Structure 1
């Protein structure tokens, strides 16, 4: 089947992308459970309280054991019906932590709030908490205090962003020129930037079995394998310094039961195999070839992920039961090559099927090294809880796709809104995930068509031309933190919900304080003056005689390529490219020297929403 033209692909995507795959085949019962099931009956959240602030309400409650997340419900004060607060993320509404800043209400109005816990997304929520009253204010102090104790270390920083998402790696050999830029070379450069400036060490990409790589074909009924093009791509990725996460997708045409069912402009086949044994053999042959070429010690660090978002009709024409068979066949085939090879799934959209998948692998005693799933427009849910209640504590949690929106060509991705968003997400993932892969590194991305202009709402952290977007700078600032985090204490209007922070101290005494102000409410993506905060920072435990103080900023006016380019224009000319490259830097202000008083330095500044600041104290 010839791939659809771009507009046809977009229409097809929009028609099918929200549809869930069938839970089970008609007339085919899933195997009866062989072991105990964890209860999905969660208790109601307790101690819910609402803290009214300027432009927002901060809600806090006690965590519920076994909860993957929480739904916040709101009603008009005086008898209105409750509905789930929708922050416009276009994916999962549940929030992972027992605290949330609601900025979707009308300032000056009063509301009732209640909260319920969820065990997973396939079961009804648990009982609701008692309701409390709250409402966003039209005015107020709007000060957030941030106290940093540099002589009190906490848990080490976990750099969960070191796995990065990427368009299919065949772009490393793509001859297309776009916006005057050669895709192949610039795409390779973007991966190198991720490695050098974000610390990325793994890359996850689609379509290693797609026919453009010629991995599998049949002749006279016999299978033939050719991994030479895969070798070329993986050689390049490894030379850049990135280990592949091998996503076993999509289906090779000669192996597909429904070769005419496709997605994306490049016609990725989304069908189950017509021969399950040959599917297993393909997975085994690939794994064995990679071990032979790169060595077991190397490939054992990679990970083999089975398929992509099988719970969406747009990516999988089969049922849940057929996906489980796809996973089982692949996992057993890969482990037959060597037990040290890592395998995981279900690689679902919106944290779907997690409970059912974990129950399946326990019932069937199928290998599982990591659970993988995706979400957008929200902080990642606490999937670790679903594993804990099933005693799967040794299984890793990999979010192999995560981002500010699941929507292609959506302008929220180009502006500053995403900068605090990614930091909120990375902090939420510290205890609940082993990887949180931002999707994707580059706007060289062809799923629904190539970029029509420089700023087009692309998924990438980097534009065409590898200009850095605010989301990139936020992750770069996180990467510059030392592993040794210092104790931080936040107080005031929106502390820990709207405004959050990390701080670190290096061996040479350098102190970095990274603070951000952001809502998940995408109706406020451009900014909201009511959500601007005065940040009063006090850094204690300092032992040098004096420090040089600098402040790096990422917001709508600083470190934002969107502030330097008209989004309605198509592509820059040579002079405009030169100007954009000159503007492609992190905005840093030198505040001069400061002398500690009793080991403490105070810094006061305004923190817009959306906004990120990094205060650096460097011993003189």
Structure 2
């Protein structure tokens, strides 16, 4: 069995095993959500309810069973709205959660069904009667270009994920493409195109960088390879989020316990004081090399990765909290203004427990970090307020469509619409949402076996731009002044984000999505006919309309049309690059505002993304 095959088998066996049960937080009393309302529409039922104080999210139940997906690690949603698609008549309830273990009582049950699928569809007085005869259901969108709501939040800009940074030094090839050079280029691209500021990656203390050895019982540090990778990051204009892990072999209590094909050691240290000395030595070295004020202003330190999973931490929860305490103290010993945080947990785990722990231990905590895949990030602000830390930033240091390696869910337009749903949900309440990862140059459970293999990257091997990349491109094109929007009719999964530039350009980003992965390849009944009206205008505007869907801005479809296969030949790479474009749905046209408004009509499939931009003539 190859190293990659062995790593994959071990991963699958241990992925869902907890590393232990942390001390439960104090019991909380939650109310049942009030005002549950189920509105049927074409192909869906939209549920809305009233918020519950102290709730970080809500669990939707269909016929008594939590609504979830097999590839989603947290079923709860952060907002008081859920669009259920792909199902018939059902009885719905909703319960609030205050921690991952604290679930409140269920709401009163409400029956409903999508329009045309059963007797329950007539509930709410035919609220979705906007369905267009013989066509897609109708959605009316109104944007007021004169009504600024706030400065547009950009949660994707602070951080991006990457494969372990020693991969930047690799001279090997995948699919005939140079690994180190293309990973470096991928990080440059996201820095330049999205304004990303920092990069997070695993294993900076791993043995492949040779940071720690014991010679005659004495610790010997060598940060030369760390300097190489961090110099490369700095040269791109990025800064590292230093994930303190994994364990050097000579310092591990059990060096036989590893994860991934590159055999990162996941054991606690045999000597916590020696670990503290290593962390302090690393931070002191970085401060000497790059300057203490550079580290204070632009870097941060995160303690370990997903210690709540047995596949990443073989110690107990108590040992992790000790690791957190001594690591935080070591960082702060170098300078008290350096930032440190955690628990960098999988699926929102141990956040409440870490908050309770540091309240007793007195350890410093400058940010909370956790991970979620396949759903929008939860809202931990009520928990932070409850612990007297309302201003502590929350960082999602890993987030994406799927936690599963080689899962194709994110390579097509479904991933693009999902990304925008999550980013808009996070906007204004999360300090960072780090997409995991920038590039398909990634080897945790084996290097990519083919061009489109369900990789985590925004960019393929060869740095082709996936629909998810194009979605972030469109979000980044929005101006800084967020605008008021109203969505009416049978909206279903249609969401809108609009903003204005200082020069008067107005961008409207609309997408049609579902969390039901069984419909990732599309569902005709969820397509919508959108009528977009932008008010608060005057004069002529050049209107452009860019689109991401199965036929537009979809490089995976382009590869299939060329015959597909594992890897392109040399000439095929050039052809793929020539069609790796962000496509216009219609040619640009000039329209004149009538009574201060313009209207643009278009069909929006599910999954699909449209970006309509109105540009006034130059002054």
Is the pair's TM-score, using the shorter chain for normalization, greater than 0.5?
A: yes
SS of corresponding position for 2:544: strand
Deviation per CA, 1:146-190: give whole Å up to 9, x if none: 110010101211111121011011111101111111111111000
Select 2:9's aligned residue among 8, 11, 28.
11
2:20 matched to which residue of 1? 22
Kept in 1, the 8 Å contact 2:71–2:404? The answer is: no
Structure 1 stretch displaced more, 434-443 or 97-106 = 97-106
Select 2:60's aligned residue among 64, 72, 78.
72
**Is 1:57 the counterpart of 2:45 in the alignment?**
yes
Kept in 2, the 8 Å contact 1:208–1:248? The answer is: yes
**Is 1:46 the counterpart of 2:46 in the alignment?**
no
1:613 matched to which residue of 2? 610
Structure-1 separation of matches of 2:489 and 2:230: 49
**Is 1:562 the counterpart of 2:550 in the alignment?**
no
**Is 1:136 the counterpart of 2:114 in the alignment?**
yes
SS of corresponding position for 1:91: coil
1:423 matched to which residue of 2? 420
1:99 matched to which residue of 2? 81
Give the aligned CA root-mean-square deviation in angstroms.
Answer: 1.4
2:97 matched to which residue of 1? 118
Give 1:65 deviation, angstroms.
1.2
**Is 1:83 the counterpart of 2:77 in the alignment?**
no
**Is 1:404 the counterpart of 2:392 in the alignment?**
no
Give 1:258 deviation, angstroms.
0.5
Deviation per CA, 1:510-539: give whole Å up to 9, x if none: 110001110011000000001101111000
**Is 1:594 the counterpart of 2:582 in the alignment?**
no
Kept in 1, the 8 Å contact 2:303–2:341? The answer is: yes
**Is 1:547 the counterpart of 2:537 in the alignment?**
no
SS of corresponding position for 1:503: strand
Structure 1 stretch displaced more, 460-469 or 390-399 = 390-399
- Aligned residue pairs total 595
Structure-2 separation of matches of 1:258 and 1:158: 44
If the length of structure 1 is used for normalisation, what is the TM-score? 0.94
Kept in 2, the 8 Å contact 1:376–1:406? The answer is: yes
1:197 matched to which residue of 2? 193
2:515 matched to which residue of 1? 520
Structure-1 separation of matches of 2:259 and 2:165: 17
Deviation per CA, 1:241-265: give whole Å up to 9, x if none: 1110000010000000010000000
Give 1:612 deviation, angstroms.
0.6
1:506 matched to which residue of 2? 501
Give 1:568 deviation, angstroms.
5.5
Give 1:394 deviation, angstroms.
2.3
Cα distance change on mapping 1:568 and 1:5 into 2, 3 Å: farther
Structure-1 separation of matches of 2:405 and 2:507: 35
Give 1:39 deviation, angstroms.
5.1
The runs of at least 4 consecutive aligned structure 1 residues that moved more than 4 Å come to: none
Structure-2 separation of matches of 1:432 and 1:133: 32
**Is 1:435 the counterpart of 2:423 in the alignment?**
no
2:268 matched to which residue of 1? 272
Structure-1 separation of matches of 2:80 and 2:71: 19
SS of corresponding position for 1:126: strand
Deviation per CA, 1:473-492: give whole Å up to 9, x if none: 11111111111111111111
Kept in 2, the 8 Å contact 1:347–1:373? The answer is: yes
Structure-2 separation of matches of 1:119 and 1:180: 49
**Is 1:224 the counterpart of 2:254 in the alignment?**
no
1:149 matched to which residue of 2? 144
2:344 matched to which residue of 1? 347
